[in-house]
Amino acid sequence: RTWPHSRKLLTTILIGSLRFISSLAASSPSYALPSISTEFGTTHNKFLSALPLSAFILGYVLGPLVITPLSSTFGRVRVLQASSVWFVVFNTAAGFATGNAELVAWRFWSGVGGSGPVTLGIGILSDCWTAQERTRMISVYTLPVQLGPAVAPIMGAFITRHLSWRWSFWVVSIASCVFQMIGWILLRETHTPYISSISSADEQEVNPTKIARHLLDDLHAAFLRPIKIFYLHATTQLLALYAAFTYAIVFLSFVSFHSIWVDSYHQRSDLASLNFIALAVGEIVGSISIRPFNEYMYARLSASSSTNQEKAGETKQSPPPSPDVHPEFRVPALLFGAILLPTGLLLFGWSASHTLFPLIPNLGVAIYAAGEVIVLQFTSLYIADVYESRSSEALAGAYMLRCVVGFSLSLVGGEMMEVLGVGWANTLLAGLCVLVGWPLSWMIWRFGQRLRE
């Protein structure tokens, strides 16, 4: 945090760019799935057809369990660079796959590597910025990430139509290499405990046996830490559940968009992908518009809390306590997102079900995309405020659940849309958003501090 502002900002942008590449890889094959299914003979089975898309998200489940403990031992930046190289190798291999099973395997392992910037990003953000600064910087960090799910299907659709579905993987690998080369030159270690351990190790006599023993102990403890944090802290569990559900809704849209715009609206496949622009617009507007509101409420509630503590200190005739900034001060933004999510889902579902003018369902997509961004930003900021230097470990547990739910819903989403129809399926999702999101917002506001303790 003592770095110059320009260096911290550059680090934030680079980490956000690497995460953007990961989100591109996650969703770029979505509009190529029909071509992949035709080539590999899986058109008869929706489950097998969706696996090449979903397997990447399954890799996000394993990745944090490996990457988080390694980053505690070897530093965030080194592990980030190694995981990015891993991602490029297996993502490139996916473009050479000769069968569906092989493609699924390469996608899974590329997801493990691609989880690096997802797992470590918010931890690096916490290393560089204070709690109030993170409120502003979260938009800089997440904006490229939020564009990924919208840009990737459009890119994948046009590449598949005019080149080949294989190039949808290779183009992402090329882009990743560009950002990685910049990162290798400019990124520096940010994790203070690791930097301190390196400094103390330099001052001591080198004992290879002792170093190896301590390394194994550190890896074992660090490997268990994200699981312990996730299972022992109620707020992390509740937020992870809600964030997982909102994240899964976006991946469900990847599965359902093709059938809605191509089959119901009779749009050409590559042109139908342009409807993902609505997703991008919603995410950009949600990210930018919520920031001043979040900053205002956070500063106002922090000032109010400090004033109350000073009065309490004067009443007791003792020195006033230091200002206390609670992560719960971000809840007003969460409630705003919790309202937008079901509103957008209902508008999208029923307007698409009745094949209304395309602008109307796209408006619904933009509204729920804005809500999704707000919820995910709140989750990241809340966990970063609570755990500070251990935020990567806490987020690792949250990402695990998020990706399991996203993986599962993307596989069954197509069947659900067929059985219930677009209108009722989105009504079900909207109802779940209300049942989980609204009580959760109140619960964190009212009992968040008690649950954390």
pLDDT at residue 321 above 60? Answer: no
Confirm whether 201 is domain-assigned: no
Q: Residue 317 falls within a domain, yes or no? A: no
Of 102, 101, 99, 67, residue with least CA distance to 86? 67
316 part of a folded domain: no
Tell me how far apart the terminal alpha carbons of the chain are, to the nearest angstrom: 27
Residue type, 375: V
Q: What is the pLDDT of residue 227?
A: 63
pLDDT band at 318, cuts 50/70/90?
A: very low
Separation between Cα atoms, residue 330 and residue 338, nearest integer Å = 13
What pLDDT was estimated at residue 405?
76
Domain-embedded: residue 208: no
More confident residue, 427 or 125: 427
For the segment 102-127, the average pLDDT, to the nearest whole number, is: 84
Average of per-residue pLDDT across 202-227: 59
Produce one character per residue of 108-129: b if its CB has 16 or more CB atoms within 10 Å, e if not: bbbbbbbbbbbbbbbbbbbbbb
Element (H, E) at 364: helix 359-387
Round to whole Å and give the CA distance between 307 and 162.
63
Residue pair 70/221 in contact by the 8 Å Cβ criterion: no
Q: Is position 200 within any domain?
A: no
**Rounded Cα gap, residues 423 and 316, in angstroms:** 59
Written as one letter, the residue type at 217 is D
Q: How many domains does the chain fold into? A: 1
Count other Cβ atoms within 10 Å, centred on residue 177. Answer: 15
pLDDT of residue 91: 92
CATH number of the domain enclosing 26: 1.20.1250.20
Chain segment 15-30, per-residue pLDDT in tens: 888 888 888 888 888 7
Q: Which domain range does residue 65 map to?
A: 5-191+217-306+323-452
207 in a domain, yes or no? no
The pLDDT tens digits for 361-420 are 999 989 988 888 888 878 777 777 777 656 666 666 677 777 777 777 766 766 777 778
- Give domain status of residue 116, yes or no: yes
Gyration radius of the chain over CA positions = 22
Residue 406 lies in a domain: yes
Half-sphere exposure of 432 (CA within 13 A, CB side): 15
